[in-house]
Amino acid sequence: MGLNILTAIINGRLVDPAGSAVEPGVLLLQGDSILAAGKVNVPPDAEVIDAKGMLVAPGLIDLGVFKTDKPAFHFGGITRAALMPDQSPPLDDPGLVQHAARAGKPDFWVHPLAAATRGLAGKELAEMAMMQAAGAKAVATGRRWIADSGVMLRVLTYAASLGLKVIVHAEDGGLADPAVATTGETATRLGLPSAPACAEAIAIVRDIMLAREANAAIHFRNVTTLAGFDLVRRAKAEGLAVTCGISPAYLFLSDNAMSDFRTFARLSPPLRSEDDRKAALAAVADGTIDVISSSHDPRGPEDKRLPFADAAPGMAGAETLLALSLNLVRDEVIGMNRLFALLTANPAGILGIDAGSFAKGAAADIIFVDPDTPWQVDSNKMAAAAGNTPFDRMPVQGRVRKIMKGGQFLN
């Protein structure tokens, strides 16, 4: 699409993440960016696209996927994905970061997250400045917590000097590494190695103190416990640059989902108690949680058809991210505009990219959504590289019907 070609999307219900209500209006695009949104006159020379009453929203920005997965991303309306550094080899080198940044073209944008330490081993700092120059949008500790507080302070200090946020996994490894479940009735009944839920709070409180010391911005990728949310609330009230996210599994499932040793419910962090699940919903409602992401980690039978304690953690979450998250609107936990702030604008802010909003000049990555279309999650028919979802057979509502990337429709 040429730089000056005008496109007007009409008859849509606009979901502006910065707005307070879903409103009918026009979205005007100029080339690959947004020109205006709302009560806009359609220029006579504009190409007109009829949204036919669908929701028109920014494309989802998935903060922290473990695999780029075109079919799953397109099904789920994900136009940008921040790729975790836990690749083979890890993203701890500028060349690897540069290669990862090109991986999605032309179908979606990939924003690599630089490994905080060499080989994600938690010992030596990686070359963050060089990886930033190669396209890294933030720094991440990967699937694990950095146990050495001295190393973590250096990570935060170095990242802060570069203006990069540090995305962390919040579980004390000394407690959590040998565990596959949260200590409680379910883990006891199943005889599974477990760790107390406070493993999360211990990690969060240390990292908040170090972030304060380094004057650094930190994002906890998945906070899943009442104690964890309380710590984040206090840090925000203090004015620290602390944000946190969550994945739908922790909003809609508790550790009861593991009761039949279903390895699709083997996640990291592990599923929590029902009280913690309710605390997660409250944290969405009160603004403690900033981001909802899929934690997309498709795993085949070789990783999942094993005894529960031996199975790899992770779930295929990209194509269910929006449909599951829409339950928060139906259940009146939050409104539609706030939901899309959690799915688009807020992750864009953490990554420092001009996308995920209807602001003038923002990237014209747009999705057309029918929020009421019913469908059933089926692990055997998923578009993802693997169908390891704990939501198998669950009825959901909401389908993405069309996607635009940079102002152009994707097939």
**Looking at the domain assignment, is residue 298 inside a domain?**
yes
The pLDDT tens digits for 62-81 are 999 999 999 999 999 999 99
The pLDDT tens digits for 266-309 are 999 999 999 999 999 999 999 999 999 999 999 888 899 999 99
State how many domains the chain has.
1
CATH code of 213's domain:
3.20.20.140
Q: What is the DSSP string of 272-286?
A: --HHHHHHHHHHHHT
The pLDDT tens digits for 320-374 are 999 999 999 999 999 999 999 999 999 999 999 999 999 999 999 999 999 999 9
**Looking at the domain assignment, is residue 52 inside a domain?**
no
Three-state SS annotation for 226-237: HHHHHHHHHHHH
The answer to whether residue 223 scores a pLDDT higher than 90 is yes
**Looking at the domain assignment, is residue 9 inside a domain?**
no
Q: Which of 285, 288, 137 is nearest to 223 (CA)?
A: 288
E strand intervals along 5-158: 6-14, 23-30, 33-38, 47-50, 55-58, 60-65, 78-83, 109-115, 138-140
Range of the domain at 199: 61-354+371-395
The pLDDT tens digits for 139-195 are 999 999 999 999 999 999 999 999 999 999 999 999 999 899 999 999 999 999 999
**Looking at the domain assignment, is residue 40 inside a domain?**
no
**Looking at the domain assignment, is residue 207 inside a domain?**
yes
**Looking at the domain assignment, is residue 363 inside a domain?**
no
Question: Using 50, 70 and 90 to split pLDDT, how confident is the model at 3?
Answer: low
**Looking at the domain assignment, is residue 199 inside a domain?**
yes
Report, as an integer, the average pLDDT of 88-111: 95
Report, as an integer, the average pLDDT of 95-114: 95
The answer to whether residue 1 scores a pLDDT higher than 60 is no
**Looking at the domain assignment, is residue 275 inside a domain?**
yes
Question: Using 50, 70 and 90 to split pLDDT, how confident is the model at 256?
Answer: very high
Token pair 């998250």 is found at 325
Q: pTM for this one?
A: 0.96
For 301, the 3-state DSSP assignment is helix
pLDDT value of residue 398: 97
The one-letter amino acid code at 264 reads: F
The answer to whether residue 252 scores a pLDDT higher than 60 is yes
Tokens of 306: 């094993």
